[in-house]
Amino acid sequence: MKLGSIELPTDLLLAPLMDVTTPSFRQLICDLGGVGLVVTPMVFVQQIALAPKTVLPHLEHIENQSPASVQIVASGRNEEHIKKAIDFLSSFQFDILDINGGCPATHTMKSGGGGALLRDYLREGSISRFQKIIEAAIKYSSRPVSVKTRLGYEKEEEILEICKMIEKSGAEFLTIHGRTVKQKYQSEINFEFIKQVKNTVEIPVVGNGDVVDYESYKNMKDRTGCDAVMIGRAVMADPLVFNKIWQQQKSSKNDFNLPPFTERHSIEKIRQYLLKNHQFIESSSQFWNTERFKLAEMRRLAIWFIKGIRGYKKVRERLSKFNDIHELKSYIFSKSFEEDFVL
């Protein structure tokens, strides 16, 4: 499928998640299959412009994870910072430059970016900071520019005018999370307004929010008419979510030439995923290749992967108590790990 000028292998996108979509995790999701686009955690324009080396770890290996997108956060108060940031990013191999226009996190709002762009849009007159950011990004970027936003700051009705502005400013596609900034993650997704956005603009629209499996993916597509779906928090509960949806998409089209898919991966398969991820981290820079990060990453991935296997709660409790990567690794690859499950 195509989003703007970019060809994607599937219509499933990995959302930018701070402290989650690390280079090693993005690579794992790519290796598991089914994802059409991965996105870095948001990086702040001012940080890139003033201290570019500090964002290098988040961009590691991105050239091997195509199609890939880099998401930036900008306040729009300093166009020179946007130019410097994009000039710096231009040396990296990625496919799309995405603008964060909706994050409700306090530190993002305080920076003047993210959800603050929606908050201030209607009070800023004819040319908002939001519009200036999009136009500056398009002006300086050699890559297509997209925007991720929400259904307004407080009222959903605000978003239709904003999305027209986003399209007019030149964004190639738009991702909409189905809640307002004020709602954060508390209310139900408003499918009707995502549908209205889809019917208002001609550029592709990506639906986002509460997609956790094939049924909720299909519900998002059917109720909104969106062109693609972005999945975020669900990947923390199930890193296989993209693979599962992709396999069910294929089977619904009677394509049976696929590798067998099972709801629960074997313990040996889990070990393979964890070992491959561990080796990937060891091949990365010193920023990631630390005992502390390797421990945290293997522990959290193991806990995510075993969910649903009978007896997993006992194993999860034991995994959470390890404070040494070598001891954790020894346990996972021992017979005790298997025996602790009720198989």
Q: Which domain holds residue 292?
A: 267-339
In a domain, 156, yes or no: yes
Q: Read off the CATH number of the domain in which 40 is found.
A: 3.20.20.70
Indicate if 119 and 228 belong to the same structural domain. yes
pTM of the model: 0.91
How many domains are there within the chain? Answer: 2
In a domain, 196, yes or no: yes
The verdict on 84 and 214 lying in the same domain is yes
291 with 181, same domain? Answer: no
- Mark whether 130 and 215 lie in a shared domain: yes
Residue 166 domain-assigned? yes
Residue 311 lies in a domain: yes
Asked if residue 89 is part of any domain, the answer here is yes
Residue 260, in any domain of the structure: no
| Greatest C-alpha distance within the chain | 66
Q: Which helix (H) or strand (E) holds 145?
A: strand 145-150
Domain boundary among 219, 252, 285: 252
Are 190 and 299 contained in the same domain? no
**Hunting for tokens 């300086």 — which residue is that?**
140
pLDDT in tens, the chain (343 residues): 899 899 999 999 999 999 999 999 999 999 999 999 999 999 999 999 999 999 999 999 999 999 999 999 999 889 999 999 999 999 999 999 999 999 999 999 999 999 999 999 878 765 799 999 999 999 999 999 999 999 999 988 889 999 999 999 999 999 999 999 999 998 999 999 999 999 999 999 999 999 999 999 999 999 999 999 999 999 998 899 999 999 999 887 655 444 443 445 688 989 999 999 999 999 999 999 999 999 999 999 999 999 888 888 999 999 999 999 999 999 999 999 999 987 5
For residues 201 and 55, membership in a common domain is answered with: yes
Tell me which long-range contacts 264-273 makes (C-beta under 8 A, separation of at least 24).
264/308, 264/309, 265/240, 265/305, 267/309, 267/337, 267/338, 267/341, 270/302, 270/305, 270/306, 271/332, 271/333, 273/28, 273/31, 273/32, 273/239, 273/301, 273/305
For residues 53 and 97, membership in a common domain is answered with: yes
Alpha-carbon Rg for the chain, nearest whole angstrom, is 21
> Residue 257 falls within a domain, yes or no?
no
Domain membership flag for residue 261: no
Say how far residue 43 (Cα) sits from the centre of its chain: 13
